[in-house]
């Protein structure tokens, strides 16, 4: 096994990525970055019938949006020759054997075993077939499917990067089918062949793959390859603690539509499943430096939209102008961005605040006394040197001349100038509104 840490994200392009897959991709990227290693994208499209090119395109686009750039991309559908060679090697080593049972027959066998209180393990009856039996099947037009022969005398163990010490008894496992009668591959063996050939050192994936790993550990050995490090992450659940349907479809498209920044999603997912606080970092490299698999627990990790929204706001409050510029309204420059940014939950909301700057704004109806105060304010504003701190100068002068202070001083001014009761810091906002417009709004 190569010494360069190499991870891979291996989605099947049978759908778009959901937040669970995105977390797996991110964690593989972080693991590789942290070690100065390589992160690969492997499109698992051996299932030609269910794989769609549009999903491959969407997966690439999603990773690009997240900034998770793979060093190399591979597709299983382009690697059938490699699988064929390994297949023959395993046949020669007597680790693969031909079977003919139909799905119904297998189902019946399982039911009989379960009915007798036994584990539903394949009985290996096909191992007893002779070459003459196979020839007779072939003559009758029957094609075999192939199973991998587990070594029942070799206990399966590995130290999982998240789950710790793992033990499986191969005598309690069925020999897995690796290739169907029509010649097509199941996921299990091609994945091992690829992990070997691509020098993958670390396989990090969901805990739904733990039992596959048990089988795959023996496949690595059967192919004379070292077994990579494995780690299996607890699955994601919704905020209500249940596996939710919604999470299974929540992906980059919906996140984008909701104004979620990739940095926010990355910051949250980098820590989701640990008890460490989320760090709304703008650069994923800094998250990589502190990424630690041992911090991840075995309990399901809760994904909470409200938490994502909070992280998103925290990210936006630090987001440099350059990362928002092409989504801001015409004319809104860096100074305005910095004034408005602390008020935003999403970048889109900047437009409404920019309208407060450019006007027109609709102020509430004021009582006569407040109206008189505002007229006075307009006069003071018109006479001010606008270059310095007009808000400081305006409020100081009005405080002196009217005796108003606190809310009675500030609120009518804010309302007249912005049409709102809250919003960006007036000291920063007023210079953006400009003198003439401010005088007009006050008067």
Q: Which stretch binds ligand GLU (CB under 6 A): 6-14, 90-98, 115-123, 252-260?
A: 6-14
Cβ closest to ligand GLU, residue 219 vs residue 380: 219
Q: Which stretch binds ligand GLU (CB under 6 A): 10-18, 113-121, 348-356, 434-442?
A: 10-18
Taking the C-alpha atoms of residue 283 and residue 265, their distance in angstroms, rounded to an integer, is 12
Taking the C-alpha atoms of residue 357 and residue 349, their distance in angstroms, rounded to an integer, is 13
Q: How far is the CB of 351 from ligand GLU (least distance, A)?
A: 39
Cβ contacts of 396 within 8 Å, gap of 6 or more: none
- Residue 33 interacting with ligand GLU (CB under 6 A): no
- Residue 44 interacting with ligand GLU (CB under 6 A): yes
Cβ closest to ligand GLU, residue 95 vs residue 209: 209
Taking the C-alpha atoms of residue 85 and residue 153, their distance in angstroms, rounded to an integer, is 26
Q: Which stretch binds ligand GLU (CB under 6 A): 7-15, 232-240, 369-377, 426-434?
A: 7-15
Work out whether strand 145-148 and strand 177-179 pair parallel, antiparallel, or are unpaired: antiparallel
Q: How far is the CB of 191 from ligand GLU (least distance, A)?
A: 5
Q: How far is the CB of 50 from ligand GLU (least distance, A)?
A: 11
Q: How far is the CB of 361 from ligand GLU (least distance, A)?
A: 52
Cβ contacts of 164 within 8 Å, gap of 6 or more: none
- Residue 205 interacting with ligand GLU (CB under 6 A): yes
Segment 104 to 123, residues that bind ligand GLU, using CB under 6 A? none
Cβ closest to ligand GLU, residue 22 vs residue 426: 22
- Answer for the pair 198, 70: CB distance below 8 angstroms, yes or no: no
Cβ closest to ligand GLU, residue 44 vs residue 263: 44
- Residue 28 interacting with ligand GLU (CB under 6 A): no
- Residue 232 interacting with ligand GLU (CB under 6 A): no
Q: How far is the CB of 303 from ligand GLU (least distance, A)?
A: 18
- Residue 194 interacting with ligand GLU (CB under 6 A): no
Burial (CB count within 10 angstroms: exposed 0-12, middle 13-18, buried 19+), residue 105: exposed
- Both tokens of 59, joined, read 């997966």
Taking the C-alpha atoms of residue 205 and residue 191, their distance in angstroms, rounded to an integer, is 13
Residues in a beta bridge with 159? 165
- Both tokens of 238, joined, read 């919704």
Cβ closest to ligand GLU, residue 221 vs residue 370: 221
CA distance to 61, 158, 214, 432, per residue, from 293 (Å): 27, 16, 20, 47
Taking the C-alpha atoms of residue 121 and residue 113, their distance in angstroms, rounded to an integer, is 8
Q: How far is the CB of 357 from ligand GLU (least distance, A)?
A: 48
| CA 323 from centroid of its chain's CA atoms | 20
DSSP designation for 185: B
- Residue 10 interacting with ligand GLU (CB under 6 A): yes
Q: Which residue is nearest to ligand GLU (CB)?
A: 44
- Answer for the pair 328, 349: CB distance below 8 angstroms, yes or no: no
Cβ closest to ligand GLU, residue 18 vs residue 152: 18
Cβ closest to ligand GLU, residue 191 vs residue 343: 191
Q: Which stretch binds ligand GLU (CB under 6 A): 5-13, 100-108, 335-343, 378-386?
A: 5-13
Query: What are phi and psi for residue 206, nearest 5 degrees?
Result: -70, 155
- Both tokens of 359, joined, read 């006007």
- Residue 55 interacting with ligand GLU (CB under 6 A): no
Of 6, 8, 25, whose CA–CA distance to 68 is shortest? 25
- Answer for the pair 428, 417: CB distance below 8 angstroms, yes or no: no
Q: Quick one: which of 1, 12, 234, 420 contacts ligand GLU (CB under 6 A)?
A: 12
Taking the C-alpha atoms of residue 306 and residue 309, their distance in angstroms, rounded to an integer, is 5
Q: Quick one: which of 5, 11, 293, 418 contacts ligand GLU (CB under 6 A)?
A: 11
Cβ closest to ligand GLU, residue 76 vs residue 174: 76
Task: Give residues in contact with ligand GLU (CB under 6 A).
Answer: 10-12, 44, 187, 191, 205, 209
């Amino acid at each position: 096994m190569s010494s360069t840490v190499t991870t891979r994200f291996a989605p099947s392009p049978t759908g778009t990525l959901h937040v669970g897959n995105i977390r797996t991709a991110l964690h593989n990227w972080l693991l590789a970055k942290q070690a100065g290693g390589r992160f690969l994208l492997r499109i698992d499209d051996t299932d030609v019938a269910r794989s769609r090119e549009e999903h491959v395109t969407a997966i690439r686009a999603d990773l690009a949006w997240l900034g998770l750039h793979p060093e190399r991309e591979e597709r299983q559908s382009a690697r059938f020759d490699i699988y064929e060679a390994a297949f023959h090697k395993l046949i020669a080593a007597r680790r693969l054997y031909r079977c003919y049972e139909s799905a119904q027959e297998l189902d019946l066998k399982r039911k009989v075993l379960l009915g007798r209180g036994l584990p539903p393990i394949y009985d290996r009856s096909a191992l007893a077939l002779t070459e003459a039996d196979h020839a007779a099947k072939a003559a009758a037009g029957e094609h075999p499917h192939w199973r991998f022969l587990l070594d029942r005398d070799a206990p399966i163990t590995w130290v999982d990067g998240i789950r710790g010490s793992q033990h499986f008894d191969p005598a309690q496992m069925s020999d897995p089918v690796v290739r169907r009668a029509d010649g097509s591959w199941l996921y299990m063996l091609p994945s091992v062949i690829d992990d070997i050939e691509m020098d993958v050192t670390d396989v990090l994936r969901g805990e739904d793959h733990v039992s596959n790993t048990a089988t795959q550990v023996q496949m690595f050995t059967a192919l004379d390859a070292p077994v990579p490090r494995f780690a299996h992450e607890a699955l994601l659940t919704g905020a209500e603690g249940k596996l939710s349907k919604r999470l299974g479809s929540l992906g980059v498209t919906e996140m984008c539509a909701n104004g979620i920044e990739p940095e926010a999603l990355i910051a949250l997912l980098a820590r989701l499943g640990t008890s460490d606080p989320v760090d709304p970092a703008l650069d994923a490299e800094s998250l990589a430096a502190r990424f630690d698999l041992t911090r991840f627990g075995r309990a399901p990790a809760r994904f909470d939209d409200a938490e994502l929204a909070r992280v998103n706001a925290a990210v936006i409050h630090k987001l440099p102008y350059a990362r928002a510029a092409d989504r801001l309204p015409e004319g809104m420059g860096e100074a305005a961005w910095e004034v408005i940014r602390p008020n935003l939950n999403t970048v889109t909301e900047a437009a409404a605040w920019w309208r407060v700057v450019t006007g027109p704004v609709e102020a509430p109806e004021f009582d006569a006394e407040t109206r008189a105060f505002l007229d006075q304010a307009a006069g003071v504003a018109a006479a001010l040197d606008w270059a310095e701190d007009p808000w400081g100068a305006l409020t100081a002068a009005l405080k002196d001349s009217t005796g108003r202070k606190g809310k009675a001083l500030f609120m009518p001014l804010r309302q007249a100038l912005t049409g709102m009761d809250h919003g960006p810091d007036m000291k920063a906002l007023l210079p953006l509104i400009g003198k003439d417009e401010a005088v007009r709004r006050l008067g």
